[in-house]
Amino acid sequence: MAAVDLTNHPGHLARRLQQAHYLLWNAMVSEEITSPQFAVLNALVDEPGLDQRTVGERVGLDRSTVAEVISRLGRRGLLDKVRDPGDGRRFLLRLTEDGVRTHRKLALRTARMNQVFLAPLSAAEQTQFLDLIRRVADAAEGLRNPGDPGTPVEPLAAPT
């Protein structure tokens, strides 16, 4: 059996993209705050007072991952958890002043990093690339919860 050409495998290419993103993130944005941690900060800047489950849904993190991210951000003093007055079992999340400052600083760095990350593409190609990977990522969300009636999942096509 011959070797598989991985240059045409989406998973292999996605892993390489993630590896490049990770390297750029550490070099240009932060070695202390991860990209998923920034995504949580970003969600809470946009919508303060979200609960943990909703934050996870907004940023595409599973329950255990978002719980760990929130715990780490809390230990760093970047967010506070307050009990929901309407449901004592839920906690609502808000950024601290330090969390808002950290987000502002990282948002500027992230914008620069994205320019470097997408630099090999023309402006039109960047728009198309982002649209295409967004569509694939959105469809993949349905694979995480295939029984969720609100998430349409197309069956995989048979190889031709």
pLDDT digits (tens, 9 = 90+) for 44-95: 999 999 999 999 999 999 999 999 999 999 999 999 999 989 888 899 999 9
In angstroms, the CA 135 to CA 139 distance is: 6
Asked whether the predicted pLDDT for residue 122 surpasses 50, the reply is: yes
In angstroms, the CA 39 to CA 137 distance is: 15
Domain ranges of the chain: 31-142
Tell me if 78 sits within 8 A of 85, measured CB to CB.
no
Asked whether the predicted pLDDT for residue 148 surpasses 60, the reply is: no
Question: What pLDDT was estimated at residue 15?
Answer: 95
This prediction has a pTM of 0.83
- Which residue shows structure tokens 């808000």? 94
In angstroms, the CA 77 to CA 65 distance is: 19
pLDDT grade for 149, boundaries at 50, 70 and 90: very low
Question: What pLDDT was estimated at residue 147?
Answer: 55
pLDDT digits (tens, 9 = 90+) for 10-55: 999 999 999 999 999 999 999 999 999 999 999 999 999 999 999 9
Helix axes 63-75, 52-59, angle to 10 degrees: 110
Class of domain 31-142: mainly alpha
* Mean predicted lDDT score pLDDT of the chain: 90
Question: What pLDDT was estimated at residue 159?
Answer: 47
* Tokens read off for 18: 């993630």
